[in-house]
């Protein structure tokens, strides 16, 4: 266990080295904090920000009070404070504080003076520039008031959502220091020419208060990353063009390796800001070149027709951590996603940077959503303002991640009501204006047709997106028998025939629907069989990876342990029998038979899947082991490239007299399938 944790922590450090803030003087401010609970809501009124916090105790970030026995059900105010020793020579430097997320609203004070606020947005990262506001060469006091009540001035609205309501500084805090002029951000737009693997790269650096742009140059280095080689493919210093406060450079790369979920090739872009003859700042990011096209109701990745299969993970599900997940916890959950063959996911709310970096490097396509959830959500001016602001910040924060292919505008709202439809339409427009290079969608549970409840057909808000996303719970939440799911899906498709059609959720939720994991397995097998029989179903997402914590009452669990039993793992990541069923159903290869054709040799028949998922299998390896299934010390056999529906044979050594366990492993190192032939 200790070695596993050590490996995860090393991986976390490695992954973080590729983030936007690498190569700058960045200090993690996760220790040295004190915390006070404010159950009477008196802190603001009594000026707690003006001095030392009363009854304070030491805490370490990330932190949430809702996993603490005495505070599990406190939804209101909590206060954090930390001393900052600021050197005198920082007076002419650029000093920025980056908050990974504060759930859900916060007021930030420096030395007793309010310097910022972040209202109604509990999951987006944000920054505050402290340049000129600090006491240089002295001790500074940073105080943060945090609120997680069920207020009306936030998204998600009130108590409309089905995940935990953990308040606090739930993600890391960073202090970023550089000389001036300093870049506020780097955003890169990669464009892939599928025919010749040529790449076009647009690089933008944003600046605030830049006095003389004529003296500024950018020294750009582009290096292969997460690939078999680590070559520098571009290195040049040049003057950028300017669009308002953005420095812009366009680069043509004659030969690049495309990003694919089985070959997630990345490129690191390092940019030094050179003012005169001195480097004042150094900012970097990673990206990948890939082309996703929806055409004729079909999905194409880098010119290949594909169908997708995946799973959703609900963060905050481990009751020992809640939303205050450490890097090792986040990475362990990401590993569980890949262990069930996830190449596709959606996220109801914004995640830690580490999650997206993992998906970039290990190959998971993401629809990332603003956390608008539930039919009780209003479309008033306050919610509209916060939601549009969240959408823009979410996109700009995560713009560089190749794993994100789409922005989601909400989940299970009142998709046929005019007020909500207008809000969703406005969010779609905001997403397209902010990022015209990605798709956008709304996740609906009100998709019906004239064959059912609506004799006068009213198009659902999902129709305004670039593709259809439908939550499907026939046989449980839906008031129809399982045998009617076939016809229901057909009717929806006929109502939106030109849109690619995806199942955005399906699964079995306990304790609402009893039957345990045996029923979950039956439900999973039946629904997958339905989807795979429908050529218009382009993909599906199983809900959920783990049993997940919720604030909803009515479960047999209490306090921080309130949960939906909805996963193929429990809330601590222990697998249920359904985990292996989901893995095998989500495999792009099928091992159908093993034959002992002559002494000492086996022939393994391998098919490319025609169900979900569906894509060319390339670079996969096959292993034959004894009943332990431990393939790590066994000989690897290359599986020939397989197209969907294609059968090929792999000849192996027979060390077990025609028996054994066959294990197939992806190029990224994750088990795809494991079948016993004993």
Contact 544, 312 (CB under 8 A): yes
Q: What is the pLDDT of residues 453-479, one digit of tens each?
A: 455 667 899 999 999 999 999 999 988
The pLDDT of residue 599 is 85
168: tokens are 């606090």
Phi-psi region of 72 (alpha: psi -120 to 50; beta: other; left: phi over 0): alpha
Rounded CA-CA distance 280/203 in Å is 18
Who contacts 510 (Cβ-Cβ below 8 Å, separation ≥6)? 516, 564, 565, 566
DSSP code, position 660: -
CATH says 185-291 is which class? mainly beta
**DSSP 8-state assignment for residue 42:** -
Give the three-class secondary structure for 530. helix
Round to the nearest angstrom and report the end-to-end CA distance of the chain.
Answer: 31
In CATH terms, the superfamily for domain 589-676 is Immunoglobulins (2.60.40.10)
> Which distant-in-sequence residues (6+ apart) come within 8 Å of 214 by Cβ?
none
Q: Single out the residue of 322, 313, 299, 300 nearest to residue 342, CA to CA.
A: 313
* pLDDT (0 to 100) of residue 20: 41
- Distance CA(575)–CA(568), nearest Å, equals 6
Report DSSP letters for 139-206, one per residue.
EEEEEEEEE----SSSSS-TT--SS----B--S-EEEEEE-SS--SEEEEEEEEETTTTEEEEEEEEE
In 231-371, which ranges are continuous DSSP H helix? 327-339, 353-362
Topology classification of domain 312-585 = TIM Barrel (3.20.20)
Cα atoms in the 13 Å half-sphere on the side-chain side of 72: 15
DSSP 365-410: EEEEE---BSTT----HHHHHHHHHHHHHHHHHTTT-TTEEEEEEE
Matching fold, domains 185-291 and 589-676: yes
For residue 234, give both structure tokens. Answer: 């571009």
Q: For the chain, what is the radius of gyration of the CA atoms?
A: 26
Tell me what pLDDT residue 1 has. Answer: 43
Can you read off the two tokens belonging to residue 300? 């194409």
The full set of domain ranges for the chain reads 19-177, 185-291, 312-585, 589-676
328-350 b/e (C-beta count within 10 Å ≥ 16 → b): bbbbbbbbbbbbbbbbbbbbbbb
- pLDDT for the residue 10: 37
Q: Report, as ranges of residue numbers, the positions in the chain whose pLDDT lies below 70.
A: 1-23, 449-457
Q: How far apart are CA 278 and CA 660, in angstroms?
A: 64
Burial class (CB in 10 A: 0-12, 13-18, 19+), 206: middle
CB atoms near residue 51 (< 10 Å): 11
Length of the chain: 678
Which letter does DSSP use for residue 551 in this model?
A: -
Two tokens at 484? Answer: 């009617």
CATH superfamily to which 19-177 belongs: Galactose-binding domain-like (2.60.120.260)
Pairing of strands 25-28, 33-38: unpaired
DSSP states of 571-627? TTSPBPHHHHHHHHHT-SEEEEEEEEEETTEEEEEEEE-SSSSB--B-S-EEEEE-T
> What per-residue confidence (pLDDT) applies to 652?
96
């Amino acid at each position: 266990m200790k070695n596993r944790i050590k490996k995860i922590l090393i991986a976390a450090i490695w992954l973080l080295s590729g983030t936007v803030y690498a190569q700058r003087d960045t200090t993690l401010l996760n220790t040295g904090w004190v915390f006070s609970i404010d159950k009477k809501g008196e802190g603001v009124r009594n000026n707690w920000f003006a001095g030392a916090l009363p009854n304070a105790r030491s805490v370490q970030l990330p932190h949430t009070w809702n996993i603490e026995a005495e505070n599990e059900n406190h939804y209101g105010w909590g206060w954090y404070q930390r001393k900052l020793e600021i050197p005198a020579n920082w007076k002419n430097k650029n000093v920025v504080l980056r908050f990974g997320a504060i759930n859900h609203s916060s007021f930030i004070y420096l030395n007793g003076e309010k310097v910022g606020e972040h209202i109604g947005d509990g999951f987006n990262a944000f920054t505050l520039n402290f340049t000129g506001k600090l006491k240089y060469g002295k001790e500074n006091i940073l105080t943060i008031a945090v609120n997680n009540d069920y207020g009306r001035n936030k998204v998600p609205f009130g108590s409309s959502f089905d995940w935990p309501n953990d308040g606090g500084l739930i993600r890391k805090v960073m202090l970023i220091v550089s000389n001036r002029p300093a870049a506020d951000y780097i955003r890169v737009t990669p464009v892939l020419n599928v025919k010749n693997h040529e790449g076009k790269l647009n690089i933008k650096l944003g600046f605030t208060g830049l006095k003389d742009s004529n003296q500024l140059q950018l020294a750009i280095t582009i290096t292969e990353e997460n690939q078999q080689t680590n070559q520098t493919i571009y290195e040049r210093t040049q003057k950028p063009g300017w669009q308002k406060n953005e420095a812009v450079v366009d680069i043509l790369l004659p030969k690049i390796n495309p990003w694919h979920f089985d070959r997630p090739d990345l490129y690191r872009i390092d940019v030094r800001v050179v003012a005169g003859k001195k480097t004042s700042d150094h900012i970097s990011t990673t990206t990948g070149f890939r082309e996703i096209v929806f055409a004729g109701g079909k999905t194409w990745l880098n010119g290949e027709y594909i169908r997708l299969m995946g799973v959703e993970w609900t963060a905050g599900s481990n009751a020992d951590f809640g939303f205050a997940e450490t890097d090792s916890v986040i990475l362990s959950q990401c590993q569980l996603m890949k262990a069930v063959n996830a190449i596709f996911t959606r996220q109801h709310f914004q995640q830690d940077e580490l999650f997206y970096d993992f998906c970039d490097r290990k190959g998971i396509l993401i629809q990332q959503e603003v956390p608008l959830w539930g039919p009780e959500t209003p479309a008033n001016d306050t919610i509209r303002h916060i939601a549009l602001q969240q959408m823009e910040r979410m996109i700009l924060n995560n713009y560089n991640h190749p794993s994100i292919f789409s922005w989601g505008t909400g989940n299970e709202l009142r998709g046929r009501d005019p007020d909500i439809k207008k809000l969703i339409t406005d969010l779609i427009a905001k997403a397209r204006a902010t990022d015209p290079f990605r798709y956008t969608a709304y996740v609906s549970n009100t998709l019906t047709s004239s064959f059912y409840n609506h004799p006068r057909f009213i198009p659902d808000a999902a129709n305004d997106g670039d593709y259809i996303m439908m939550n499907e719970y026939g046989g449980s939440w839906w008031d129809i028998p399982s045998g009617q799911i076939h016809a229901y899906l057909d009717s929806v498709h006929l109502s939106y025939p030109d849109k690619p059609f995806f199942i955005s959720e399906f699964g079995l939720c306990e304790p609402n629907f009893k039957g345990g994991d045996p029923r979950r397995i039956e439900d999973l097998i039946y629904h997958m069989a339905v989807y795979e029989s429908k050529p218009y179903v382009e993909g599906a997402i199983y809900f959920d990876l783990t049993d997940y914590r919720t604030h909803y009452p009515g479960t047999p669990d209490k306090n921080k342990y309130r949960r939906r039993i909805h996963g193929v793992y429990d809330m601590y990541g222990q697998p249920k029998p359904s985990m292996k069923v989901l893995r095998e159903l989500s495999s792009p290869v099928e091992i159908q038979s093993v034959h002992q054709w002559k002494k000492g040799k086996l022939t393994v028949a391998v098919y490319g899947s025609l169900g979900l998922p569906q894509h060319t299998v390339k670079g996969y390896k096959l292993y034959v082991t004894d009943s332990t299934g431990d393939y790590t010390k066994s000989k690897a056999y290359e599986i020939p490239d397989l197209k969907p529906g294609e059968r090929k044979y792999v000849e192996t050594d027979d060390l077990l007299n025609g028996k054994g366990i066959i294990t197939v492993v992806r190029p990224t190192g994750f088990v795809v399938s494991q079948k016993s032939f004993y």
